[in-house]
A and B are shown apart, each in its own frame.
Chain A
Amino acid sequence: MAQAISPPPEVVREDGPARGDSTDAAGLGRVRAAVFVAPALLLIAVFLVFPALWVLYLGLTNYRLTGVAAAEPQFVGLDNFIAAVTTPAFWNSTWLTVEFVLGSAVIGQAVLGFTIAWLMRDRRGTLKRAVEGLVILAWILPSAIVAFLWVALLDRDSGTLNAMLGIPGFAWLLDHPMLSIIIFNVWRGTAFSMMLYGAALGNVPPSHLESARLAGASSWQQLRDVVFPHIRGHILTNLLLISLWTFNDFGPFLLTAGGPDGRSEVLAVHVYKVALQAGELGHGAAVSTVILLINLVVAVFYLRLLRSKK
């Protein structure tokens, strides 16, 4: 505590202007900095941290939406957690979520987003605006509308996709539910990666690329030796954010409702089904806590990667 109030002076020296990271150029000082941070932290504490702690507590009770346990929930210890991780549906959902995150975020959005940013990197004008505008459109349209657009697109009898491929009657959402929601999520979320990589590529010094080209490096070699090392931080930030967002995305529910037979029931949908459809709030909270832990592992993994190569 004492350290928080009176920092040792050498900390300031060490973080001098060369680091560019924490120079207090405006003379803010710690007290005023804390005042600046306070409003945001207050809202976050009340509407984010408190509910999160509440979820932890609920996970330890037999709280239900209806019935006796709704009025007076009992403390049941770790029963919910044991029930949650011994349910086959939970492991099914975990596996589907891994597929969903790897397929649609890490491979789909990140690769497609980078490809678009790379293709458009030194273009100006209509083509660039059209491509970027359309990709961003898919990202900013309301999810309720977007879900309907994809239901229409994939409809088995009159959907556009089947009409184009000439295979009327092919039930995408029933026969390939995971593939459908993965492609859907790539379409929906690529914009973020595209914009982030677009900004990142702007920071790669053109002279480095130029000299690599003069030395006869192929496009792939330029990417590997010049571009990727430069935008390493951006890549990892991007992967961290889109992995977490995709992990907790409720969007698949709007397309397949987790079906058929739980074949696209990712964890976010699983929680909804357990907690609200089945009314087992305590059990649902325990699953939420497990999800939180998995997210923590994912985040620590990326942060380790980010720090490892220095």
Chain B
Amino acid sequence: MTRFVLGRIGFYTLVAVLLAFFTIPLLWLVTAPFTSDPTYEVKVPDFTLDNFRAVLEHPYALPSLWNSVVLSVGSAVLVVVMAALAAYALSRVRLPGRDALLYALLLLSSIITGTAAMVPLFQLAVELNLIDSQLGLILILTGGLLPAAIFMLKDFMDSTPKSYEESARVFGASPLQIVRHVVVPLVRPGLATIAVWAVANVWGNFLMPYLLLSDVEKQPAAVITYTLYTEGGQANLSMLSTFGLLYSIPVVLMYLFVSKKYGFRFHGGIKR
């Protein structure tokens, strides 16, 4: 009995510490936007809306959020469609060198999407006339996200039962129809997870848009965030915190929506 009580106490203490660790850094984001002249200090706000008015009046703030939506939704759609097709094919048909290929691409993607390939990607974008093109940026971002997406989705595909596909095939469905009407419904939580992952990745990506979009009217919120400085060259905390809150809300809503509708979970591990 004492052991049970101690266990309970230990459990709730641990959970309280975890909650504190993950909550405390977020406090500033929910207090500073409603405080006049915020500093880095977290204090009870005076509930002013002046900061929001200032953000609304900023010529590029709201349009940049729309640009973020275009970029992240565009990339997520491409990533999900292409990765689903590729992961399905790789899961069901043993193409020669499949596993080595997957690992090689995964390895490459984790390196090349960082700072390492900035220079070649920029040169490539210039050659292909993709500078200042949102479509070009979407393609580049998609290329970077695809290997990890295929890798994760293939695990989902491997764990779905094959018998439905066999029956669909007996009734004369084409492979594309089977994917659409049999496989996709089965792996929907996986597709939703990949979509959220892709959106969150692009939504927060600073480096690539900064490098490839010079037109301020096309730049996403991540780039605009770094332009919010006062005349004195200091970070404009009232603008930054308020814009940061507005910039954060869409991904949070998306997560809540997806986790409610499809369940937000991973299958993982290399099954053998």
Contact = CB atoms under 8 A, between A and B. Distances in A.
Contacts of A144: 204, 206, 222, 225-226, 244, 247
A217 B166 CA distance: 44
A40 B115 contact: no
Interface stretch (A78-86, A89-97, A230-238): A230-238
Given A47-B124, A134-B22, A142-B247, A271 B116 contact: yes
6 contacts: A37-B90, A51-B124, A135-B22, A136-B255, A241-B148, A275-B118
Contacts of A151: 40
Interface in B161-211: 162-163, 165-166, 168-169, 175, 178-179, 182-183, 196, 200, 203-204, 206-207
A44 B23 contact: no
Interface in A45-59: 46-52, 54-55, 58
Contact of B119 (A30, A32, A250, A284): A284
B95 A30 contact: yes
Nearest to B199: A140
Interface string B111-127: 11111111111011000
B232 interface: no
Interface in A123-175: 127, 130-131, 133-146, 148-153, 155, 157-161, 163-164
B229 interface: no
Interface stretch (A99-107, A208-216, A220-228, A289-297): A289-297
B265 A250 contact: no
Contacts of A163: 41-42
Interface residues of A, number: 109
Interface of A: prevailing SS: helix
Interface of A: 3-4, 11, 15, 17, 20-30, 32-34, 36-37, 39-41, 43-44, 46-52, 54-55, 58, 63, 115-116, 119, 127, 130-131, 133-146, 148-153, 155, 157-161, 163-164, 187, 195-196, 198-200, 231-238, 241, 244-245, 247-250, 268, 271-272, 275-276, 281, 284-285, 288, 291-292, 295-296, 299, 303, 306, 310
A36 B15 contact: no
B88 to A, nearest CB: 6
Given A25-B169, A131-B19, A140-B200, A44 B146 contact: yes
Interface of B: 11, 14-15, 18-19, 21-29, 32, 39-42, 78, 82-83, 85-86, 88-96, 103, 105-121, 123-124, 139-140, 142-144, 146-148, 150, 158, 162-163, 165-166, 168-169, 175, 178-179, 182-183, 196, 200, 203-204, 206-207, 221-222, 225-226, 235, 240-241, 244, 247-248, 251-252, 255-256, 264-272
A200 B268 contact: yes
Contact of B92 (A22, A119, A149, A291): A22
A306 B270 contact: yes
B36 to A, nearest CB: 15
Contact of B248 (A141, A275, A295): A141
Contact of B109 (A3, A34, A48, A234): A48
B115 A131 contact: no
Instruction: Please indicate which of the listed interface residues B26, B29, B40, B116 has the most CB atoms of chain A within 10 Å of its own CB.
Output: B116
Contact of B89 (A28, A155, A250): A28
Contact of B123 (A3, A54, A131, A299): A54
A66 to B, nearest CB: 13
Contacts of B175: 26-28, 32, 36
A41 B256 CA distance: 32
Contact of A21 (B78, B269, B271): B271
Contacts of A236: 269-270
B90 A233 contact: no
Given A195-B265, A250-B115, A292-B111, A24 B121 contact: no
Contacts of A3: 96
B22 A28 contact: no
A142 to B, nearest CB: 4
B266 A198 contact: yes
A150 B118 CA distance: 26
A284 B115 CA distance: 10
Contact of A158 (B39, B92, B117, B150): B39
Given A152-B40, A163-B41, A33 B25 contact: no
Contacts of A235: 269
Instruction: Please indicate which of the listed interface residues A43, A164, A247 has the most CB atoms of chain B within 10 Å of its own CB.
Output: A43
Given A21-B271, A26-B179, A133-B256, 10 more contacts: A22-B92, A26-B92, A39-B85, A44-B105, A48-B143, A48-B144, A58-B119, A58-B120, A63-B119, A291-B111
A26 B172 CA distance: 10
Nearest to B251: A140
B89 to A, nearest CB: 4
Nearest to B222: A144
A148 B18 contact: no
B93 A33 contact: yes
A288 B117 contact: yes
Given A11-B94, A198-B265, A233-B271, A249 B114 contact: yes
The 10 tightest CB contacts between A and B, nearest first, are A47-B143, A233-B269, A25-B162, A234-B269, A142-B204, A288-B116, A54-B120, A36-B89, A158-B41, A33-B93
